[in-house]
């Protein structure tokens, strides 16, 4: 990617950026609050979500909700709170109106009565699409800095 190409892809409007930032804030707060069904609804019905610890991407809202509900229950039983934090959000609008996003993602983990901790440093690559006026995640690919 040359600097010229980057410049050309940087034509993301302030409105789009504001919308993406609001989307991620609400999206992650739903997850961290344990509002798993509402969180799953911020993906398209046929969304895929790949992580380095699973051999195949998760597919669809039901599978996403099931997986993250399990994690939420386990963390609650251990008295642990997680905070997912996106930053350095680079947005690349596609001609069809979808948005490619590449950003950094931190996960903080704090046990009740314990010290706050940095749990993960990740890179998150999303394809966001607009359906019914709202942004939704259509495809997510997460890598972890501690894993190949």
Residues of this chain, 44-103, that bind a second copy according to CB under 8 A: 81, 83-91, 102-103
The residue among 24 and 49 lying less far from a second copy, judged by its C-beta, is 24
φ, ψ of residue 47 to 5 degrees: the values are: -65, 150
Is 2 one of the binding residues for a second copy (CB under 8 A)?
A: yes
Is 115 a binding residue for a second copy by CB under 8 A? The answer is: yes
The reply to whether 7 sits near a second copy by the rule CB under 8 A is yes
Q: Which of 51, 68, 75, 106 binds a second copy (CB under 8 A)?
A: 106
From 7, 5, 16, select the one nearest 91 (Cα to Cα): 16
Contact 44, 125 (CB under 8 A): no
Q: Which is nearer to a second copy, 17 or 70 (CB)?
A: 17
How is the beta sheet containing 116-131 ordered, strand by strand?
A: 58-59, 43-50, 134-144, 116-131, 99-111, 80-93
Which member of 6, 62, 70, 71 binds a second copy (CB under 8 A)?
A: 6
Contact by Cβ (8 Å): 125, 102: yes
Nearest to 99 by CA among 37, 3, 5, 10: 10
- How many residues contact a second copy, by CB under 8 A? 60
Q: Which residues bind a second copy (CB under 8 A)?
A: 1-3, 6-7, 10, 12-19, 21-26, 28-29, 35, 38, 41-42, 81, 83-91, 102-104, 106, 108, 110-121, 132-134, 145-148
């Amino acid at each position: 990617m040359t600097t010229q190409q980057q410049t050309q892809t940087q034509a993301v409007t302030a409105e789009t950026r504001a919308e993406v930032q609001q989307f991620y804030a609400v999206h992650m707060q739903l997850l961290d609050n344990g509002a798993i069904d509402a969180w799953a609804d911020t993906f398209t019905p046929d969304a895929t979500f790949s992580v380095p610890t699973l051999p195949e991407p998760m597919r669809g809202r039901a599978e996403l909700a099931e997986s993250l509900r399990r994690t939420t229950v386990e963390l609650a039983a251990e008295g642990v709170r997680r905070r997912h934090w996106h930053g350095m959000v680079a947005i690349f609008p596609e001609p069809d109106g979808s948005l490619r996003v590449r950003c950094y993602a931190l996960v903080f983990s704090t046990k009740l009565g314990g010290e706050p901790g940095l749990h993960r440093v990740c890179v998150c690559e999303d394809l966001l699409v607009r359906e019914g006026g709202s942004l939704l995640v259509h495809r997510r690919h997460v890598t972890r800095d501690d894993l190949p």
